[in-house]
Amino acid sequence: MKKLLCLLVGLLLLISLSGCDVNKSPAENISQYKGALVYIGDEIVHGDRFNYYYDKDTKVMYVANDSYYSGGITPLYNADGTLRLYEEVD
């Protein structure tokens, strides 16, 4: 019984000491794309920040989100289902 109790306490301590780092910026989360994506702006919607990027080579636009509970990066699509391409303004 003592061994089981010690194991349970040890397991609870291990779980309670682990956690997630929610203080990373979106740029850190997509660092594997560094050099390929160009930052073009951001907006805050309902407290979540959305950062917009485009790929230098393909001009495909992406949106990245890094909120408290989740995050990710996805391409943007036009209404007809085609990928949205970045058009530089002169």
pLDDT per residue over 52-63, tens digit each? Answer: 999 998 999 999
In a domain, 7, yes or no: no
Q: Which residues of the chain have pLDDT under 50?
A: none
What pLDDT does 12 receive?
A: 73
**Phi/psi of residue 56, each to 5°?**
-60, -40
In a domain, 44, yes or no: yes
pTM here is 0.58
In a domain, 77, yes or no: yes
Instruction: Map tokens 């979106």 to a residue.
Output: 26
In a domain, 13, yes or no: no
Instruction: Map tokens 């309902």 to a residue.
Output: 46
In terms of Cα–Cα distance, which of 58, 90, 55, 62 is closest to 76?
62
Instruction: Map tokens 């609870």 to a residue.
Output: 12
Q: How many residues does the chain have?
A: 90
Question: How many domains is the chain built from?
Answer: 1
User: Which residue range(s) make up the domain with 49?
Assistant: 24-90
On whether the CB atoms of residues 61 and 52 are closer than 8 A, the answer is yes
In a domain, 5, yes or no: no
What pLDDT does 32 receive?
A: 57
